[in-house]
Chain A
Amino acid sequence: MTASVLQQPSGLPTPAGTAPLLRFEQLGKVYPTPAGPYPVLENINFEVNQGEFVCVIGHSGCGKSTLLNMVSGFATPTSGQVLLNGKPIEKPGPDRMVVFQGYALLPWMSAYENVYLGIDSVKPNLPEHEKREIAMEHLEMVGLTAAAEKKITQISGGMKQRVAIARALAIRPDVLILDEPFGALDAITKEELQEELLKIWNTQKCTVLMITHDIDEALFLADRLVMMTNGPAAGIGEILTIDFPRPRSREDIMEDPRYYELRNSALDFLYNRFAHDEDEKAD
């Protein structure tokens, strides 16, 4: 039914001439457990191009976080590798900035100080006034100019997430990694932040890898949606290409008939084909 937007993940060839920014090669991860080795991920082959917005979806425990941790460098692959600009990723670094699930802001500092600390740590040699300007510019980008001097303990969850995004973008990473960034927020704040993230992504043209549980969120934000099969030994089941024109508006997307096709195929994948059985990933 939606065959035109479905792609087979394995061995996807890149269009000639454009080297991918990020490349997963035969990636696998095995965790040792008391009951013996537990394979979380197996045979992940995937490429992300410069400036792409990629969402990853899958049931909990399918290894989404592990997959992203191998990009950020907090986890190391047991087999295969992840290449950034052709170089294997070995440890965390500011070229792959993470927006953590629990924000990970330093609560004794103000919003501004948190953003500034990021810039100052990554580019200590930048002139002082430039660091300040970059920090303020990014706080403005997420609409926090007025709250810049507020302590993290004094601001709401949505504002914290904004600060975390400002901190991440202020150091101009090659890849922005978001682990369910809006999961803990109420519906309205969530939609606001999705729109802001998209706006910033449009202007900065950074590459985004984002874990989500929310199909609508993924369809609104992403160029491609990676759907993971269930663990153990999870892999990439299918990749949906979401080619709504940009800049996107929620209303326009909702009116597009393809929206429901995409949504249905994602729902079908998650709740019928990979609800809790493992027969389907025989390929």
Chain B
Amino acid sequence: MATTPNSSSTLSLWWKRNRQSILPPLLGTLGFLLFWQLSSSLGLTKLTGPLSLWTDERTRELLLYPFYDRGGLDKGLFHHSMSSLGRVAIGYTLAAIVGIGVGIAVGLNKSLDRAFDPLFQFLRMVAPLAWVPIALVLFQRNQPAAIFVIFITSIWPILINTAEGVRQIPQDYRNVALVLQMSSGRFFSKVLIPSALPYIFTGLRISIGLAWLAIIAAEIVMPGTPGIGFFIWDANQNGYVSEIVLGVIWIGAIGLILDRFMAWLQKRISPGQ
């Protein structure tokens, strides 16, 4: 009987197999939320508990109607997120292009590497918020300044990992290219890029998280435009604590999805490496 594949037995089989990977994170998260709610209800902290997202009318509306749009800045979270994601997409794409390009140059050329490595290591330590005033002075306009903040925050892991990936190309592969007298174009496309790809993807995956982290800093410089960073900033200005909590959870969720997407893409493009 046990071997008959009916729907209930496949379900229980699935549960048996995946129980280990589903139960612990579920319990962990629930436990955390319970602790948070209790400490808030008992007055241990002024931060509103997770239940307030539902009990507070403003956030309940935001949760129920993510797609509403009453014009101006009065939009649902979906629209705010899309504006932010658009900005992140531009800044991150620029960071990927420049980061991979410069990374390859630095990885191939030892003197370039020596010349710029200290600078890169220094610049990558600068926090996104610190770039905001610099970006504003540099560009004088909000939109490019915001994109620059995302760009400059997310470029470093891409650049540094790409350079490392190029440095790590096994000497054997270089020797093959030498003995076959490959043209540099062929070496680039057939050896260098595929060999460094796992490193490049590691950089890209770290950076998508950073680019998304930079969104609040980036959107502080652009008041009056929709965006999830601005949404939180605005809630902060008005003292809507549960809205801030909602915004923070929303940002975390989107960041998680972006990270998982990059992981999936990495698996698809460079499997088994």
Contacts and interface: CB of A to CB of B under 8 A. Distances in A.
Interface of A: 72-74, 91-94, 96-98, 100, 102-104, 106-109, 117-118, 121-122, 151, 153, 171
Contact of B179 (A93, A103, A106, A153): A93
Contact of B186 (A100, A121, A171): A121
- Sort A-B residue pairs by CB-CB distance and give the 3 closest, nearest first: A104-B172, A121-B180, A92-B179
B273 A107 contact: yes
Given A72-B179, A171-B180, 4 more contacts: A73-B178, A74-B175, A100-B175, A106-B194
B181 A108 contact: no
Interface in B214-273: 270, 272-273
A10 to B, nearest CB: 30
Interface of B: 170, 172-173, 175-176, 178-183, 186, 190-191, 194-195, 197, 270, 272-273
25 contacts: A74-B178, A91-B178, A92-B181, A94-B179, A94-B180, A94-B181, A97-B179, A100-B175, A100-B176, A103-B172, A104-B170, A104-B172, A104-B175, A106-B173, A106-B190, A106-B191, A107-B273, A108-B194, A108-B273, A118-B180, A121-B180, A121-B181, A122-B181, A153-B272, A171-B180
A93 B176 contact: no
Contacts, number: 55
B4 to A, nearest CB: 36
Contacts of A72: 179
A104 B181 contact: no
A122 B176 CA distance: 12
A102 B273 contact: no
Nearest to B187: A121
Nearest to A93: B181
Nearest to A103: B172
A277 to B, nearest CB: 34
A96 B186 CA distance: 20
B88 to A, nearest CB: 30
B151 to A, nearest CB: 30
A115 to B, nearest CB: 12
Nearest to B191: A106
Contacts of A108: 194-195, 197, 270, 273
